[in-house]
Chains A and B, each alone.
Chain A
Amino acid sequence: MSEEFFIQGNEACAKGAITAGCRFFAGYPITPSTEVAETLARDLPKVGGSFVQMEDEIGSAGAIIGGSWGGAKSMTATSGPGISLMQENIGYAFMTETPIVIVDVQRGSPSTAQPTMAAQGDMMQARWGSHGDYEPIALSPSSVQEFFDFTIRAFNLSEEYRVPVFVMADEVIGHMREKIVVSDDIEIVARKRPESSDNYLPFENIENGTTPMPAFGDGFNIHVTGLTHDERGYPDTNDPETHDKLIQRICDKILNNKDKICSVQSKNCEDADVVIVSYGAPVRSVVEAVNKTDKKVGYIKIDTPWPFPDEQIKQLCKNASDVLVVEMNLGQMYYEVERVLKDSNVHLLGKIGGLLPTPDEILDEIDKIGGN
């Protein structure tokens, strides 16, 4: 039996987290994400979980990494200013291969800008926000249902690959109310504990790149550091080979599994003259625009902006003469599409100010491009 709820996006995110097994949340109030924290403050104690309101976002990111090593699936939720503050500790989580989920309900930016208006200005922070080389996973929901589903998938991916996963929502999805259907048959990925401490290496260079992870207190006596470390976790900061192997593995464990991680949805791309590429809330207008027009227009909805679905984009755009990227910034994922489709005409409809691009605005842009 499945259940139906009519709820707000941020509440659906919190519900998804609890369904996925999240039992620790640390956060700091920030519009427009606060209802995620408020819902979990109310609901986590009902399922044996812990909620902590931290002193700031830096502390929130630190606390969830500590919580994860303490054996709890852990999450925080924030918006642009908060995600900026969290970046150093997010980099630490990549370096120490700590599974955490970071929800970013994006708002107008930079700085404090537009707290109650939607934007997609943090997409590159999710990709490159911390210093150094690493490969993040990010999911972008376009509906309240997807905010629920993608939060669960974020936990599953973070456990499977021992990696921080971003859920890149926005103010529209966070604050809108829609019906969601919760099935009673949802796949949950539990953390894998190493079988024995004999010869166990917490950061082993194994084939698929991801080693099982014990909790603190399990008796493995492991050392976890953000310094470059060997397979035991011991600092080894001056050997170029140790660093190269570690960082390559941290990147490759994601890149080599792109076929399992990347996800897009598409319509009418095969014989389209113009393919629209979008993600998150603007997809809602894109779908309407495509349904409304008689022109040969298709669309690709990117579920997973990171790692970027190069192959899917290439494949679905191969017959199009023009590609239009629709996003709520002045061009972020646009440059990724341009990178992948080197020889195509890639156009941008980048709208800032806080309002969704409308279907008519999208169709006007198609007219300008000259789609048939």
Chain B
Amino acid sequence: MSQEKQNRFIPYLREDRLPHIFCPGCGNGAIINAFLAAMQKAQMDFDNIAMVSGIGCSSRIPGYLKCDSLHTTHGRALSFATGLKTANKDLDVVVFTGDGDAASIGGNHLIHAARRNINLTVICINNNIYGMTGGQISPTSPKGSFGSTAPYGNQDTPFKLAELVAAAGASYSARWTTVQIENLVTSIKDGLKNPGFSFIEVATQCPTYFGRKNKLRTPTAMAAVMKANTVFKSAADRMKPKDLEGKIVVGEFANHTRDEFTENIDKISVEKSGKKTLINSAYESEL
């Protein structure tokens, strides 16, 4: 018997929480894998990472990773993350969220966190549907797609999240899919290293709900459609809007440097008190 080969990322998992709750064929596993690979490539100290999430399938990811993790209320992860990062500017704060969490109920926090360019890395897992509540349409559901609250087809125009966040002021914004894992890893790595608001949207498959309601019952069928519909941004920039209907444009939508929120707070602190903002001051009886 050959010894079973252990996945190199097992040490980062809370093994005592397994098995996980994700459905067979869900993209979350591949995205966790991509995140941990990117984290290693970026040479991050895993022990210095704190994770924050909201509500939904994607927001369950931090609960399976062996780091400090704050599983918060629906849509509000970015506000909790803003407080956490501001209170301790030395932490590397990563947010896992989804299309419903970040773009519907949490839309306001999303654009304002991007506007502040606060140093957070946000991984937004976009499956175009509400998975945890059973397949309702989301703000990114394609026009005409079916969900349990759109039995006659979705009539609303979806948000383009990576573009929206870039327009709101994020210094890094990108979109990839679960069929371009290598690009995704590179993008998450770049996001982790970017000293500002980094938003990585990952288009993913939800065979259980989106697939079942839209005649794409298997993860492979969904992956094939996703791959066929992918257009790189460089090509998309030369295409007409009409030809881009139904396509998933992948690539970077923002990648530049600008002043960062918590550094600005530290600057004012240094100017007014002669020192950077205090860390872990709650534990001191005299300040």
Interface of A toward B, CB cutoff 8 Å: 21, 23-24, 26, 45-52, 54-56, 58-74, 88-89, 92, 99, 159, 188-193, 215-227, 234-235
Contact = CB atoms under 8 A, between A and B. Distances in A.
A62 B265 CA distance: 19
B82 A225 contact: no
A88 B72 CA distance: 10
Nearest to A220: B68
Contacts of B80: 62-63, 65-66
Contacts, number: 197
Contacts of B70: 66, 69, 216, 224
Contacts of A159: 282
Interface residues of B, number: 54
10 contacts: A45-B269, A51-B265, A59-B108, A66-B79, A66-B82, A68-B282, A215-B283, A216-B68, A226-B72, A235-B63
Contact of A223 (B47, B63, B73, B87): B63
Interface in B59-87: 62-63, 66-73, 76, 78-87
Given A49-B278, A191-B283, A67 B84 contact: yes
A25 B278 CA distance: 13
A235 B66 CA distance: 15
Contact of B83 (A64, A220, A235): A64
Contact of A52 (B86, B269, B275): B86
B52 interface: yes
A73 B82 contact: no
Contacts of A193: 283
Given A21-B284, A23-B281, A48-B281, A224 B50 contact: no
B243 interface: no
B10 to A, nearest CB: 15
A67 B14 CA distance: 25
B14 to A, nearest CB: 7
Contact of B273 (A48, A190, A222, A235): A48
Contacts of B67: 221
A215 B280 contact: yes
